[in-house]
Structure formats: C-alpha cells, structure tokens
Amino acid sequence: MILFQQKMKTVIVIPVFNEEKTIGNVLSDLNKNNYNDIIVVDDASSDKSAEIARNYNCMIIEHLINRGQGAALKTGIVLALNGGADYIVTFDADGQHQVGDIKLLLEPLYAKKCEVTLGSRYLTELSQRKIPLMRKVLHRLAIVYTNFTTRLNLSDTHNGLRAMTAVAAEKIHFSQDRYAHASEILEEIAHKHISFMEIPVTISYTDYSLAKGQKIGDFIKILFKIFVNKLR
C-alpha cells in the first residue's frame, strides 16, 4: 500500500494575487515537507509574487489580466490534470493554511473512503477560538445558505483547503471566476453525488490575512452571483 501511494502524483495548486509577503514562506514550507509538484497561478499580481515564487520548486503560470481566485484555480486544476496528477490539493497563498493538514486531507483519498475531502475550521476548537466575530458571522450565513441550496450538511463552506482525486476533479465544473466558485464546487459535489468527507484543519489568522479576507460587501456579491447563476 505504501509503495502504491508513493507512485501516486499529488499536485498542490496555489492561486496567487499580490502575496509577496507570504508566498515565499508558503512555498518554502511545502518544499521542506517534500511537496514539490506545485502549480502557482499568479493572477496578474502587481507586486513581486511571481518573482519570489521562482526561487522555489514549483511551476508558475501567470494570467495576463486579473480574473479572480476561481479562474486561477481552474487554470491550475486543468494543468494538474494534463500533467498526470492523481490527487489535487488546493492551498491558499496567504499563510493561513497548514502544510501538516495536507496529509490529513489525502489519507481518506488514499484509502478510497471518498473522492473529495473538504477542510473545516469549525471541527477544531483551536481555529474556532481564533476566528474574529464578524468573520464567524459571515461564515455562518454562508454555511446556512450553501447547505440550504445544496442540501449538504457541512460545517464550513468557504474553506480553500481541499483535496480531490483526479476522477473527481474531472467531474467538477465551475464557471464562477471569483470567490463564488467555492459554493459552486459544493453544488457540483451535491448534484453529481461525489463522495466527500470533512476533515478538521487549523486556520492561522493574522492581521495580514484578515485584511485581505472577504468583507460583508464581498459576501453579498457572492450570494448575488450564486442566485443569478441559479436563474440561468
């Protein structure tokens, strides 16, 4: 079983937009933990994100114009599949995600218990204690809304840390280029009956990551885009 797993190719996909302050540490930590099949999709950053990423073991793809996190993920996932990935992990560039959690996400996939694993900050007491009140309120609203529209029963619906088999990635099609892609992925999982598990993960909040995070206005825009998309 161990030899079988070692032959499997796991690709980490990281969407990046103006993350020069954190992308170096993120990639360094991944490389130190022997994750070297990494695709960094720079979404037309105006800073030195791409330049810094070139110092690490990864593939860098640059969008000519800023299209959004969802579009960057789509680019990375397609490249990962074309490159023969067996498993794909989506990972944020702002330093919130923990490299040690990747193994936890992959283990159920290796054991064929499910096709997709979704990271949840609300299944770990440590992460819950550190979530700012307004962020927690926005998350709760998103969870209620997404669970209602998808008929899933999830504890965290907008966590960018997830893993999937190549077969599942081929099935999941999302059109939203920006943050609404997270809800759309869950809709695909529900509608196509893709098996999944939620996995407890730890999110590290910093002043930097909170400043770049979604505000209430962004949240309203996301819900509006999802609603409009459902009417089509």
| pLDDT for position 126 | 58
* Partners of residue 117 on adjacent β-strands: 163, 197
| pLDDT for position 1 | 39
| pLDDT for position 4 | 45
CA dist 135 to 69, 103, 132, 157, 194, Å? Answer: 19, 27, 5, 13, 29
Q: What is the pLDDT of residues 23-55, one digit of tens each?
A: 999 999 999 999 999 999 999 999 999 999 999
Q: What is the pLDDT of residues 133-154, one digit of tens each?
A: 777 787 788 888 888 888 899 9
Q: Return the C-alpha torsion angle 132, 136, 138, 143, nearest 10.
A: 160
| pLDDT for position 3 | 43
Take residue 125 and report the two structure tokens written for it: 């007491």
Query: Distance between CA 180 and CA 178 in Å, rounded?
Result: 6
Q: pTM of the predicted model, to two decimals?
A: 0.86
Query: Distance between CA 150 and CA 167 in Å, rounded?
Result: 21
HSE value, Cβ hemisphere, 13 Å, CA-based, for 37: 16
The tens-digit pLDDT sequence of the chain (232 residues) is 344 455 789 999 999 999 999 999 999 999 999 999 999 999 999 999 999 999 999 999 999 999 999 999 999 999 999 999 999 999 999 999 999 999 999 999 999 999 999 999 998 765 555 677 777 787 788 888 888 888 899 999 889 999 999 999 999 999 887 778 888 999 999 999 999 999 999 988 877 777 765 555 555 555 555 555 555 5
The CATH homologous superfamily for domain 2-231 is Spore Coat Polysaccharide Biosynthesis Protein SpsA; Chain A (3.90.550.10)
